[in-house]
Structure 1
């Protein structure tokens, strides 16, 4: 796909449909879009093959809400001339879900997913801080995640179409304690969240019927969250901005809920550290990113912006590797349980 080509109307509707229901059958998608199922599947495969769009999955809020996971954002400063080597080393790690080269007072921002804060601490001390080319780092543990990338929408469908797709989603259910099969499925789904039950069963050593039940439960409980991604330059939102802010502690939840409803916002999470809120958004331009910051303050008048960055190169997004134009080139399965901390327990 030429880098300057935008998605046509049907492509945008197709992506929006899969953002709502990433595993929706082609029969349903084709019915909603008014095209035949073969055409829908062929269009999607073209987008996947070109790196323009893809469906992935990662451990979700259902797991962290049960105290069974740790999400952290890590700022990394690199030794001069070592940035690319350091970034590539991080992209190879299965528990580093996202790697971004950014502007401002840090070189890289990592999204790290691990079992617990103890494992995070051992990894920071035993691996991160001793890695060649790393000059310093700062770790922010996420608390409440008010919204994240799986909830962002292209908004190409009309309300009736969107409701028709959403109607087929499984009802929410409480999260259970993930076992070995759940973990294997989580890793396999991170590669392709639309993989067939038969393929998942073969990969994970189970049966299609068992896998069907488990996958449905994992998504319904948000232990695993799937997302349909689109190459940012093809979405009319080519600039990614990250904002760190401070709010009075008793106003974080209310303000964050308002912020999460903003069109551009992809992530809004409470964090520890110098600031207590982190917001990531997509903007139409650098100028629009500045407007977005002003809109944040209007939305939450007590919010004080402490720092901001623009992503120059999102090198890895939820396990998927991206080129400098934002197109998918490969992936590293997301696996929070596959970590060498370099330290004994």
Structure 2
């Protein structure tokens, strides 16, 4: 639902930032534990969180790190739109469940999309028969993410903002974000696992009893299954804050080239930088893409100068500033980055695209009509 208009002017104070940081470390810890770590009572912590979520300024989410498929892949799709139809296209794509992000950006593309597919054939079907059928789409360009070096569930507000996060909070939900990044789709999620993750995504902080009632599993099974998913890194948790209120309102995506023998060193250095939200190796002419959050537009040259100093092998070949991140980790956002509603991450059902592909295959199989 849209942010509460009575709270739209609300801002985050120091305790709010500490609360977000605590939930980033342990999203399912109880309010007593979180409150104690922040030096407030449980009701204060819970009330603060309700205020932030009601205003769309912060939210919790979770999603599977793998989706079913023969050879799951992550694709970065650049979309050029017909003049005046960019937002129409973005709105049309917003509920496609396998699209992780949709960004309206500056530069040589109108939209930048991150999507997950079961295999290359599914990607071809989506680009050719879903995007290709939209009248507002003028052209697309696609690269595959060959290696994931850093991703947003590992990003920490206190690390980026220089704030102390209070006492360490033990509890569930920390292992997934601490797991080393790997190739998407490397896990072995069952249909029951995916169902549990989807229900949990409706309210990450709901109890095991609530999850059991909604999934038909026992509370013991719910706890055991969640512990396994967290241990394996098959589920990722995020506690996000609206970028306009985060202190890091500028999101910039860079395309770059790095000599193959220096990729490991350069990506490790990039992944360790406080500004880095995501870093992947690509299949195309630019063999690396990374996204950073910065404090202002005029911080971009200084950031690039720092890259050149510390990673001289990395050559930035293009850049795009996000004007509006319409979809972010399966959540739809307004232009200020405030939460609107969730679109759970799951596999794409092709529908009309599959029918169009089937018609083309029949045409190819039959050949040209005989005279």
TM-score, length-normalised on structure 1?
Answer: 0.91
Aligned CA distance change for structure 1 residues 189 and 36 (closer, same or farther; 3 Å): same
Is 1:315 equivalent to 2:318 in the alignment?
no
Which residue of 213, 217, 227 maps to 2:238?
Answer: 227
Aligned CA distance change for structure 1 residues 54 and 103 (closer, same or farther; 3 Å): same
Task: Report the alpha carbon displacement of residue 289 of structure 1 after superposing the two structures with TM.
Answer: 2.0
Do the aligned residues in 2 keep the contact of 1:241 with 1:280 (CA within 8 Å)?
Answer: yes
Task: Report the alpha carbon displacement of residue 314 of structure 1 after superposing the two structures with TM.
Answer: 0.5
The residue number in structure 1 matching 2:255 is 244
Aligned CA distance change for structure 1 residues 202 and 299 (closer, same or farther; 3 Å): farther
Task: Report the alpha carbon displacement of residue 284 of structure 1 after superposing the two structures with TM.
Answer: 0.9
Do the aligned residues in 2 keep the contact of 1:74 with 1:110 (CA within 8 Å)?
Answer: yes
The residue number in structure 1 matching 2:218 is 207
The residue number in structure 2 matching 1:297 is 308
Aligned CA distance change for structure 1 residues 121 and 80 (closer, same or farther; 3 Å): same
Moved more, 268-277 or 167-176: 167-176
CA distance in 2, matches of 1:78, 1:288: 29
Which residue of 8, 13, 18 maps to 1:13?
Answer: 18
Task: Report the alpha carbon displacement of residue 146 of structure 1 after superposing the two structures with TM.
Answer: 1.2
Q: Secondary structure at the match of 1:184?
A: helix
The residue number in structure 2 matching 1:47 is 52
CA distance in 2, matches of 1:280, 1:217: 30
Counterparts of 1:25-40 in structure 2, within 5 Å, are 25-40=30-45
Aligned CA distance change for structure 1 residues 122 and 72 (closer, same or farther; 3 Å): same
Which residue of 119, 124, 131 maps to 1:121?
Answer: 124
Q: Secondary structure at the match of 2:204?
A: coil
Structure 1 stretches of 5 or more lacking a match?
Answer: none
The structure with the largest alpha-carbon Rg is 2
CA shift digits 1:63-82 (9 cap, x unpaired): 48x98632111110001121
Q: Secondary structure at the match of 1:127?
A: helix
| RMSD, aligned CA | 2.5
Do the aligned residues in 1 keep the contact of 2:79 with 2:140 (CA within 8 Å)?
Answer: yes
CA distance in 2, matches of 1:214, 1:255: 36
Is 1:87 equivalent to 2:90 in the alignment?
yes
Do the aligned residues in 1 keep the contact of 2:25 with 2:173 (CA within 8 Å)?
Answer: no
Aligned CA distance change for structure 1 residues 191 and 231 (closer, same or farther; 3 Å): same
The residue number in structure 1 matching 2:137 is 134
Aligned CA distance change for structure 1 residues 189 and 294 (closer, same or farther; 3 Å): farther
Aligned CA distance change for structure 1 residues 130 and 167 (closer, same or farther; 3 Å): closer
TM-score, length-normalised on structure 2?
Answer: 0.85
CA distance in 1, matches of 2:100, 2:175: 26
Aligned CA distance change for structure 1 residues 304 and 67 (closer, same or farther; 3 Å): farther
Do the aligned residues in 2 keep the contact of 1:218 with 1:224 (CA within 8 Å)?
Answer: yes
Q: Secondary structure at the match of 1:292?
A: helix
- The count of residues paired between Structure 1 and Structure 2 equals 341
Structure 2 stretches of 5 or more lacking a match?
Answer: 1-5, 362-371
Aligned CA distance change for structure 1 residues 327 and 195 (closer, same or farther; 3 Å): same
CA distance in 2, matches of 1:159, 1:329: 27
Do the aligned residues in 2 keep the contact of 1:142 with 1:271 (CA within 8 Å)?
Answer: yes
The residue number in structure 2 matching 1:271 is 282
Task: Report the alpha carbon displacement of residue 17 of structure 1 after superposing the two structures with TM.
Answer: 0.8
CA distance in 2, matches of 1:178, 1:324: 34
Which residue of 188, 198, 210 maps to 2:199?
Answer: 188
Do the aligned residues in 2 keep the contact of 1:239 with 1:289 (CA within 8 Å)?
Answer: no
Task: Report the alpha carbon displacement of residue 139 of structure 1 after superposing the two structures with TM.
Answer: 1.1
Q: Secondary structure at the match of 1:109?
A: strand
Counterparts of 1:136-175 in structure 2, within 5 Å, are 136-155=139-158, 158=164, 161=167, 163-165=168-170, 169-170=174-175
The residue number in structure 2 matching 1:76 is 79
CA distance in 2, matches of 1:68, 1:46: 42
Aligned CA distance change for structure 1 residues 176 and 266 (closer, same or farther; 3 Å): closer
CA distance in 2, matches of 1:75, 1:39: 44
